[in-house]
Amino acid sequence: MGSITLENVRKSFGSADIIQGASLEIEDGSFVVFVGPSGCGKTTLLRLIAGLEDVTSGQIRIDGADVTDVPPAKRGLSMVFQSYALYPHMSVRGNIAFGLKMAGMPKGEIDRKVEGAASILNLTPYLERKPRDLSGGQRQRVAIGRAIVREPKAFLFDEPLSNLDAALRVQMRQEVTRLQKQLATTAVYVTHDQVEAMTMADRIVVLNAGRIEQYGSPLELYEHPANLFVAGFIGSPKMNLIGREVAGQFGAATIGVRPEHITVARDGEGWEGTVGVAEHLGSDTFIYVDVPQVGTLTARTVGELGIRVGERVRLRPDQRRIHRFDTEGRALAA
C-alpha cells in the first residue's frame, strides 16, 4: 500500500515561495515522475514528501493518514539520493542493513533480507566491500538496495541516475522501471531529463517555478500539452512555437508544431525558407530553416534527403497536429 496525497502544499524560504500550492494524487503502485527545469521546485517537493523539509502550509497524506508533522524516520518511505549518500564507513551489507537494524529487526531476518536484495541487484559478490571500492553503477545499486530492503510504502528517487555515464544510465533506467513493476511499490522520481520522464513514468508531473503545470501520462503530455511551457518542455527537439500573423490565421495567439510533424519538400505548398543548419544523425536529419515572418523552424526528416545548407525548401505542417494556445499560453480546444 502506498498512495500519497498532497493538498495545497506550500513551501517558502523567507519571502521566496518555492512551492506555491501543489495538490496531487499519487495512486498506489504507480510510477510518478516530477520533471522540470532546475530551480522549479521538484526536489523540494520530493523532500517535503520525505519529511526532510517542513511544509509552510497544506497537508500531506500517506495512505490516507496525515503525516504532515511526522518526522522522516516515521513515514515509512525510503529514498535514493542523487549522490547515493552511502555510509562510507559501512560495508555494502551494513549499508543495506542499516534501516532494518534501526527498525530493530532480528539479525537472522536482516541477513536473509539483505541477501535477498543483494541477489536481485547482483550485489552478492560485493557485500563485504566498502562503498569507495565500488564503481558508480554498483554504488547506485547499493543505494537502491538500501531503499527496497525496507519494503517501504513508497520509493523516493532524487535524480538518481544523473551521476552515471550515458550507457549505464539507459541500462539503469530500465532496471529501475522493471524493479518497480515487479515490487508494485509506489515510486516518486525526480529528474530534469525529459527522456527519463517519458520512458519511465506512468504519470508525469511537469513543474515550473513552484507550480504544477500539468499532471498526466507521457502520451497525454506529448499529444495534449496543457500550456506553452509543457509544449516547449516535452519533446525533443523542441516544439516550434510561432506567434504573430501566422498564429492569427489559426485563430490563436501562438501555435505549436513539433519538428516531426513537419514535412520538408523542395517545392509545393507551405512556408518557404532557407536551410541554415542541418544535423545528420544517420537515422534522422534535423534541419533548421529560416522562414521570413515566422522565424527559425526545426524540422525532422527520416533518413537523408540530400538537402544542403543554403537551399530553399518548403515546410508543410501536419494540419491535424497543430497545437493552438491563447494569449495566456493555455491550450485551446482542438
Partner 1 sequence: MARKVTGAKTAIWTAAAWLVGFIIFFPILWMMLTSFKTELDAFSTPPSFLFFHWTTENYATVQERSDYTLHAMNSIITAGGSTLIAMAIAIPAAWAMAFAPTKRTKDILLWMLSTKMMPAVGVLVPIYLIYRDFGLLDTRIGLIVVLCLGNLPIVIWMLFTYFKEIPKDILEAARMDGATITKELLFVLTPMALPGIASTLLLNVILAWNEAFWTLNLSTSAAAPLTTFIASYSSPEGLFWAKLSAASTLAIAPILILGWFSQKQLVRGLTFGAVK
Partner 2 sequence: MATQQTRTLGRVLIAPAVALLFVWMIVPLAMTIYFSLQYKNLLNPGEESFAGLDNFTYFLTDPAFITALINTLVLVGSVLLITIVLGTFVALLMNMPIYGRNIVRLMVIAPFFVMPTVSALVWKNLLMHPVSGLFAWLMSSVGLEPIDWFTNYPMLAVILIVAWQWLPFASLILLTALQSLDEEQKEAAEMDGAGAVSKFIYLTLPHLARPITVVILIETIFLLTVFAEIFVTTGGGPGLQTTNLAFLIYQAALLQFDVGSASAGGLVAVVIANILAFFLVRIVGRNLEA
Footprint of partner 1 on this chain (CB under 8 A)?
50-52, 71-74, 77-79, 81-83, 85-89, 98-99, 102-103, 146, 150, 156
Q: Which stretch binds partner 2 (CB under 8 A): 45-53, 83-91, 227-235, 287-295?
A: 45-53
Q: Is 278 in the site for partner 2 (CB under 8 A)?
A: no
Q: Which three cell numbers stand for residue 284?
A: 534522422
Q: Is 327 helix (H, G, I), strand (E, B) or coil?
A: coil
Q: Which does 99 bind (CB under 5 to 8 A by kind): partner 2, partner 1, none?
A: partner 1
Judged by CB under 8 A, does residue 71 bind partner 2? yes
Residue 238 DSSP code: P
82 binds, among partner 2, partner 1, none (CB under 5 to 8 A by kind): partner 1
Closest C-alpha to 158, from 46, 251, 63:
46
**18 and 36 Cβ atoms separated by less than 8 Å:** no
Sole binder of partner 2 in the list 26, 40, 53, 231 (CB under 8 A)? 53
Return the number of the residue (14 or 282) whose C-beta is nearest partner 2: 14
Residue 261 binds which entry of partner 2, partner 1, none, with Cβ cut-offs from 5 to 8 Å by kind?
none
Residues 6+ apart with CB under 8 A from 255: 241, 242, 246, 247, 322, 323, 324, 325
Contacts to partner 2 from residues 9-28, by CB under 8 A: 13
Q: Which stretch binds partner 2 (CB under 8 A): 52-60, 148-156, 180-188, 300-308?
A: 52-60
93 binds, among partner 2, partner 1, none (CB under 5 to 8 A by kind): none
Q: Which is nearer to partner 2, 82 or 177 (CB)?
A: 82
The reply on whether position 70 binds partner 2 by CB under 8 A is no
Is 41 a binding residue for partner 2 by CB under 8 A? The answer is no
State the Cα–Cα distance between residues 195 and 270, nearest whole angstrom.
Answer: 31
Tally the C-alpha atoms within 13 A of residue 93's C-alpha that lie toward its C-beta.
11
Residue 161 and residue 119 in contact, taking contact as beta carbons nearer than 8 Å: no
| Cα–Cα distance for residue pair 238/299, rounded to 1 Å | 10
Among 27, 54, 66, 223, which residue sits at the site for partner 2 (rule: CB under 8 A)? 54
**CB of 51 or CB of 160, closer to partner 2:** 51
Q: What strand order describes the sheet that includes 312-317? A: 262-265, 312-317, 271-280, 284-291, 295-302
Q: How many CA atoms lie within 13 A of 45 on its CB side?
A: 35
Residues engaged in binding partner 2 (CB under 8 A): 13, 51-54, 71
